[in-house]
Each structure stands twice: as structure tokens, then as C-alpha cells.
């Protein structure tokens, strides 16, 4: 079963439990689009998922957990255990720090700003007299990235 089919089944079940009709959710989406989502002909965007969740008084994570449970034919608890393990692994690998570092005032940093940060770090290592290999190890960047950034000239160094 696809995730869209699981999500459609969850929407129907939640509406039934809440005693809501498709018309009751008219503020969230037009009836045709809602029908398409509820019949797995279309998938909601993240913004639509958020609106549906509010209208159904369910957290988006709850709706997705239930949808995954239906798709995978397991209990919601099993889905949550899997998620907890993945989150713990993500945190152990430094993913939360990376996530925080990738955000700037609540908006994801642009790739360009991240490249500029890396370039500045490589240039600093170069000025400190480190080799490319030592820079790779110090910054934890791929060898090819350090090599490419190393070749870029610093206007201040040419003076």
C-alpha cells in the first residue's frame, strides 16, 4: 500500500471519529481537492497537511504516524519506536547540531552562505599554515571540497 492510500484511510477514519463531513473542512481545501486527497488521487503539501491537522485537531506527526502504520501494516507504536531510533541515531551523528547550524533566523541558510562559511574556514587554515590534508581533518570537510576551496584566491592574500 502507498503512503497516499494510508493517508487517505486515516483522513476518512479521523473524519468519522470526529463526526466531520468534507464540507466541514471546506476552509482547508475545496471539496474536489479534498476528495482527491481522501481517495489517494492527490497528496497534500506540507502546508495543506498543517491546515488539515489543525482542522482535525490532530498533530501532523500523529496523522503521518497513523498513515505509516496503515501503509506498513504495523501498530502506531512500532512506527514511533522506529522514529525514536532514527532520531537518536540522527542526534548521535551530529544531525541536530547540523540542523541548528543550517538555520538562520528561522529560515534555512542558503547554499551560497554555507559555501562562504566553508571558504572562510579553509582560508583561515591556509593562513595558519595548515596543509590541505590537515584542513580536511580539522574542518571535517571532504578532500575534494577543501581542494576546490583552497584554489580560490583570497583578495587580501594577493595584496
Domains contained in the chain, number: 2
Answer whether residue 39 is part of any domain.
Answer: yes
Q: Is residue 147 classed as helix, strand or coil in its secondary structure?
A: helix
Question: Whole domain around residue 25: which residue ranges?
Answer: 3-76
What pTM did the predictor assign? Answer: 0.65
Q: What's the per-residue H, E or C state across 98-136?
A: HHHHCEECCEECCHHHHHHHHHHHHHHHHHCCCCHHHHH
The reply to whether 118 falls in a domain is: yes
Helix orientation angle between 143-151 and 111-127, rounded to the nearest 10 degrees: 80
The answer on 58 and 7 residing in a single domain is yes
Residues 15 and 67 in one domain: yes
What is the chain's pLDDT, residue by residue, as a tens digit (159 residues)? Answer: 899 999 999 999 999 999 988 888 878 877 888 889 999 999 999 999 999 999 999 999 999 999 999 999 999 999 999 999 999 999 999 888 888 877 765 666 667 777 888 889 999 999 999 999 999 999 999 999 999 999 885 555 544
Amino acid at each position: 500500500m502507498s503512503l497516499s492510500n494510508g493517508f487517505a484511510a486515516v483522513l476518512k477514519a479521523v473524519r468519522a471519529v470526529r463526526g466531520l463531513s468534507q464540507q466541514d473542512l471546506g476552509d482547508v481545501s475545496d471539496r474536489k481537492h479534498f476528495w482527491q486527497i481522501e481517495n489517494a488521487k492527490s497528496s497534500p503539501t506540507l502546508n495543506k497537511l498543517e491546515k488539515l491537522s489543525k482542522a482535525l485537531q490532530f498533530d501532523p506527526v500523529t496523522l503521518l504516524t497513523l498513515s505509516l502504520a496503515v501503509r506498513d501494516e504495523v501498530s502506531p507504536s512500532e512506527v514511533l519506536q522506529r522514529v525514536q531510533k532514527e532520531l537518536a541515531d540522527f542526534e548521535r551523528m551530529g544531525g541536530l547540531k547540523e540542523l541548528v547550524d543550517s538555520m538562520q533566523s528561522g529560515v534555512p541558510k542558503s547554499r551560497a552562505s554555507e559555501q562562504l562559511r566553508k571558504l572562510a574556514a579553509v582560508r583561515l587554515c591556509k593562513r595558519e599554515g595548515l596543509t590541505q590534508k590537515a584542513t580536511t581533518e580539522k574542518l571535517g570537510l571532504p578532500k575534494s571540497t577543501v581542494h576546490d576551496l583552497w584554489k580560490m584566491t583570497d583578495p587580501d592574500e594577493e595584496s
